[in-house]
Chains A and B, each alone.
Chain A
Amino acid sequence: MAKPGLDGHDRGAKVVARGLRDAGMEVIYTGLRQTPEMIVNAALQEDVDCIGLSILSGAHNAIVPELMQQLRQRQMDDVLVVIGGIVPEPDLAPLQQAGIAAVFPPGSRMAEIADFIRTHVHPRPALAP
């Protein structure tokens, strides 16, 4: 669960992080003021299946392409990337094309977010013994 950019409004990120933990997932919260590079580094280090971006600031058009490029460069294309927050209608399709799997707007339910992540993460090959 990442909070990219300058915005510090973290209620959604924290509530969803807690909700996903209650739903049985392991959730790492990056904290605030994350650059795309910091997020991808953390994702790589923690070997996550999914990156959740909390974006309310309108900065998604700058953040997402940069982040997706970093994921490609690190061969992390199989990581599911979802957004929670406020994205204007005209920006939804370009984000989908950039690789964002879902945008959860205000009013989204915890169960819906958890189900989506569960059903859309790519299965990882089992580690060799």
Chain B
Amino acid sequence: MASSTDTRAPKALPSQAAPLPAPGGERAAEFTTISGVPVNRLYTAADLPPNFDFEREVGRPGEPPYVRGIHATGYRGRLWTMRQFSGFATPEETNERYRFLLSQGQTGLSVAFDLPTLMGYDSDDPMSAGEVGKCGVAIDSIEDMERLFQGIRLDQVTTSMTINSPAAVIWAMFLVAAERQGADWKRISGTLQNDILKEYIAQKEYIFPPAPSMRLVVDTIEFGAREVPRFNPVSISGYHIREAGSTALQELAFTLRDGMEYVEWTLRRGLPVDEFAPRLSFFFNAHSDFFEEIAKYRAARKLWHTVMTERYGAQNPRSTALRFHTQTAGVSLTAQQPYNNLTRVALQALAAVLGGTQSLHTNSLDEALALPTAEAATLALRTQQIIAHETGVANTVDPLGGSYFVEKGTLDMEQGALDYFRRIDAMGGMVGAIEQGFPQREIADASYRYQQALERGEKIMVGVNEFVSDEPRLPTLYIDESARERQAAKLQALRARRSRDAVASTLAALRGAAQGEHNTMPALLDCVRASCTVGEVCNTLREVFGDYTETAIT
């Protein structure tokens, strides 16, 4: 049977000698970014538009259009949050890892949930067989949420939760856990990913159809604006779009257009833009092509400021200042020669920092093999700490500003995104574009083009299609089936202990709220306090909203 060792065997030859230079004295006929965008030999002032007004088009950090950053003091004022995405097996084991990472100097929490939780199933559901705790932590009830944060003060550390379809109920569990710790909802802070549009586009962890899903998102935005004002109810994401194979420009354009879609739906709910826009946050990928990524982040800030002021009339400066978390590109990391991944992640993290990210997760070197060991997660955190404290890049704001290459790249990204916005608008907005399969097709085509480039050797992956060598196997984290057994036992005990009447009445009230027009968050909170499980809540919502099946585009 072919296994990892067999697939490496055919290419044990040493690397070929450097190819002869193409005419003109260069190594290749064309140089392109990882996204396929051509790159010139040299960039000068002539590459910028005639009469380019630097003060207007780029400006200063902390001032519109925010190209150089949203804070005047940059990282001199405050370093980015070092926020490692983490979660596996049971809440108890994950709690241990969170306390460990905090003790090693991480400055924010980020929860990875398992697939059953992400898809709204309890750990003992037949659909959860084999999946419990494998890709993240299993959370079935309020008690699991409390166990997850045992000994961690939720009013003293910010928590990001990567949850989408069941985001509203998971947030309700988080809020009740915080409440039971004695924390004030007006003071707690964190982020919900809660970006359902990119699920239809890329990650495919949807449960319900688009319209009711968008309704739930707007419910959380509205509830947050009123009751949990320091919380970011959405993290509008490009990370997953990029991981699915999009180009950097598509990542930028689809993400911002998703953001615009959330703004429009929330405006239709009747909230004034400045009441909710300051708490919309973003999440980008940090991929391998260094300067392309930096141009992408700078263009993102410029574009968001422009659309928020010109299209939606935002007046509050905080409504137009784009804040983002970044994760280094998982898809760029290799199973072969995994120590190379430390280098990749360091360079990608550096790009994110030079791009001005507010928060950063660095992947572990064993990313392509398993969930991270504690050692690998620590090394990833150290990467950030070394960048922050040893390289000097945090000593000045937007150090690459003024580079002809970077400014030209920023302008090109901006223009390309505006072009995509026009096309998507013509399709009736992002929901319309998704229904027509547009972003999905763009991503499928881009991912296939990249694969072909790799297969032809036009794009290199060190250790995979070039510079191949044997290496010893790495110890990795192995998650067995016992998480499911432990969670199932807890569920059985919970169901025996709680009030059946309370469960029935709160779920009935939730059904009514979902069928009606009112915000579902109060009903969800009541369900959570009555110890309804994730599966019970989501099944109730499934009954009202229905399921969604996509038309696959290959």
A102-B1, A102-B2, A107-B461 known; A11 vs B476 contact (CB < 8 Å): no
The answer to whether A51 has its CB under 8 Å from any CB of chain B is: no
Spot the interface stretch: B41-49, B126-134, B187-195, B251-259.
B126-134
Determine the chain B residues whose CB is within 8 A of the CB of A57 once the complex forms: 115, 131, 134-135
Determine the chain A residues whose CB is within 8 A of the CB of B10 once the complex forms: 112
Q: Contact check, B448 vs A6: say whether CB atoms are below 8 A apart.
A: no
Give the residue name and chain of the A residue nearest to B370 (CB): A88
Please give the distance in Å from B407's CB to the nearest CB on chain A. Answer: 32
Determine the chain A residues whose CB is within 8 A of the CB of B550 once the complex forms: 31-32
The answer to whether A126 has its CB under 8 Å from any CB of chain B is: no
Determine the chain B residues whose CB is within 8 A of the CB of A32 once the complex forms: 204, 550, 552
What is the CA–CA distance of A8 and B334 in the complex, to the nearest angstrom? 21
A6-B119, A59-B129, A60-B130 known; A14 vs B368 contact (CB < 8 Å): no
Q: Contact check, A116 vs B127: say whether CB atoms are below 8 A apart.
A: no
Q: Contact check, B335 vs A105: say whether CB atoms are below 8 A apart.
A: yes
Chain B, interface SS category: loop
The answer to whether B244 has its CB under 8 Å from any CB of chain A is: yes
Q: Which of A6, A33, A60, A102 has the most CB of B within 10 A?
A: A6
Q: How large is the interface on A (under 10, 10 to 19, 20 to 34, 35 or more residues)?
A: 35 or more
Q: Contact check, B130 vs A59: say whether CB atoms are below 8 A apart.
A: yes
Please give the distance in Å from A126's CB to the nearest CB on chain B. Answer: 29
Contact for B131 among A5, A10, A100, A116, CB less than 8 A: A5
A5-B115, A58-B134 known; A29 vs B7 contact (CB < 8 Å): no
A9-B203, A32-B550, A107-B336 known; A61 vs B130 contact (CB < 8 Å): yes
Give the residue name and chain of the A residue nearest to B552 (CB): A31
What is the CA–CA distance of A20 and B96 in the complex, to the nearest angstrom? 44
Contact for B204 among A10, A101, A116, CB less than 8 A: A10
Give the residue name and chain of the B residue nearest to A6 (CB): B115
User: Which residues 269-316 of B have a CB within 8 angstroms of A?
Assistant: none
What is the CA–CA distance of A86 and B371 in the complex, to the nearest angstrom? 11
What is the CA–CA distance of A124 and B204 in the complex, to the nearest angstrom? 36
Q: Mark B1-15, 1 if CB is under 8 A from A, else 0.
A: 111100100100000
Please give the residue numbers on chain B whose beta carbons come within 8 Å of chain A beta carbons, in ascending order: 1-4, 7, 10, 115-116, 118-119, 121, 127-131, 134-135, 199, 203-206, 243-245, 331, 334-336, 368-370, 444, 447-448, 451, 455, 461, 464-465, 473, 476, 478-479, 481, 549-550, 552-554
Q: A6-B115, A29-B554, A58-B134 are in contact. List 7 more A-B contacts (CB 8 A).
A: A6-B127, A8-B206, A9-B244, A18-B554, A31-B549, A61-B481, A108-B7
19 contacts between A and B (CB under 8 A): A6-B131, A8-B204, A8-B205, A9-B244, A10-B552, A11-B244, A19-B451, A57-B135, A59-B115, A86-B370, A88-B370, A89-B473, A101-B1, A103-B1, A103-B4, A105-B335, A107-B334, A110-B455, A111-B455
